[in-house]
Amino acid sequence: MSNPLEVPLHKLEAAAGSPLPVIGTAAVNDAKENFRRQGFAGVPWAHRKTDGRKDKGRAILVKSGHLRNSIRIVSIGSGSVTIGTDVPYARVHNEGESDYVRSSRGTFGTPHYRIMPKRQFLGLNDGLKAELHCLIREHIQEALKTV
């Protein structure tokens, strides 16, 4: 004997389609919005060490806009969506880094410890979670109307 809910569930699944593209787009928009907010999850990014004349008034992490504009949906899989960027320096800004480096003057410079503060722009935060819950709920409600 088959499950009496099997047919309605298949109809709902067919009517709803996947919410993953909508979820991915919301996550991309949230990451890009972090650049406008100059912070992540309500926590402002660390300021630059120096605000030289050429950087005065420029937003943090925005020089050409290449990093911000590179954020996109990377993949949509079975039950998951991944957003990211292919910019090589994105990981260092998003996660922060401290390492020992040689001076740019080669063997004549003094090696030193370099600290890049964490300025997270990608990731799941409470605000994005709430937005995604609303999107999923709306998606399911719309699908239920058509079944």
- The arithmetic mean of pLDDT across residues 118-136, rounded, is 93
Q: What was the pLDDT predicted at 51? A: 60
Residue 108 within a domain: no
Q: What was the pLDDT predicted at 1? A: 43
- Over residues 18-68, the pLDDT tens digits come to 888 999 999 999 999 999 999 999 999 888 776 666 767 788 888 888 999
- Over residues 81-123, the pLDDT tens digits come to 999 999 999 999 899 988 877 666 666 667 777 788 999 999 9
Residue 102 within a domain: no
Residue 27 within a domain: yes
Question: Does the pLDDT of residue 139 top 90, yes or no?
Answer: no
C-beta neighbour count of 56 within 10 angstroms: 7
Residue 100 within a domain: no
Separation of CA 95 from chain center = 12
Q: What was the pLDDT predicted at 136? A: 87
Print the domain residue range for 130. 6-92+120-146
Residue 53 within a domain: yes
Whole-angstrom distance, CA of residue 89 vs CA of residue 11: 45
Residue 82 within a domain: yes
CA atoms within 13 Å, Cβ hemisphere of 140: 7
Question: Does the pLDDT of residue 7 top 70, yes or no?
Answer: no
Residue 29 within a domain: yes
Counting the structural domains of the chain, the total is 1
Q: What was the pLDDT predicted at 34? A: 95
Evaluate if pTM is beyond 0.75: yes
Tokens for 69? 């504009």
Q: Which residue has the higher pLDDT, 17 or 43?
A: 43
Q: What was the pLDDT predicted at 64? A: 86
Residue 32 within a domain: yes
* Residue 27 burial (10 A CB sphere; 0-12, 13-18, 19+): buried
Q: Beta strands 43-44 and 39-40: pairing type?
A: antiparallel
Q: What was the pLDDT predicted at 2? A: 59
